[in-house]
């Protein structure tokens, strides 16, 4: 019986030690967790909560990420829109007929087509 006690006691000590080692290993694995940008390969550590905030921030500046194409397209479209606005501001457009105050949903009380178009264009910027 003493032999059984000693056996179980030693097994318990051994298992507690093994459990502590495994917990330490899990902690190390979590600390070493990395994620990466799929477009340029740059590596980033995972945040404590398991979220890769660094990657999220990186995406907006990564030259290889497709979001850069979208940003460039947005800037190109803004430049085109600004040219249209400049052109409309330059044009002498006729007044709208009475009763058409809501041309394009803007300009209530105003009969100036140019004003209505400009207001519509500027709300899209």
**SS3 of 34, please?**
strand
Residue 109: the pLDDT is: 43
87 confidence band (pLDDT: 50, 70, 90)? confident
* φ and ψ at residue 86, rounded to 5 degrees: -60, -40
Residue with more model confidence, 25 or 63? 63
62 confidence band (pLDDT: 50, 70, 90)? very high
Selection from 84, 119, 124 nearest residue 104 by Cα: 119
CA atoms within 13 A on the CB side of 83: 6
CB 37 within 8 A of CB 44: yes
- Per-residue pLDDT reduced to its tens digit, 27-52: 766 776 777 788 998 888 776 666 66
Distance CA 46, CA 90 (A): 54
Choice among 12-26, 30-44, 54-68, 75-89 with the minimum mean pLDDT: 30-44
Claim: this prediction has a pTM higher than 0.75 = no
CB 46 within 8 A of CB 34: yes
DSSP code at position 124: T
DSSP code at position 63: T
């Amino acid at each position: 019986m003493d032999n059984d006690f000693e056996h179980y006691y030693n097994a318990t000590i051994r298992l507690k030690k093994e459990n502590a080692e495994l917990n330490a290993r899990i902690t190390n694995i979590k600390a070493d967790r990395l994620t990466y940008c799929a477009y340029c390969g740059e590596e980033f550590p995972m945040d404590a909560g398991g979220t890769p905030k660094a990657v999220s921030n990186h995406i907006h500046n990564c030259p290889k990420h497709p979001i850069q194409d979208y940003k460039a397209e947005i800037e190109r479209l803004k430049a085109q829109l600004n040219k249209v606005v400049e052109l409309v501001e330059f044009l002498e457009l006729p007044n709208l007929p009475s009763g058409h105050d809501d041309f394009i949903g803007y300009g209530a009380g105003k009969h100036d087509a140019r004003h209505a178009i400009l207001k519509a264009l500027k709300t899209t910027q």
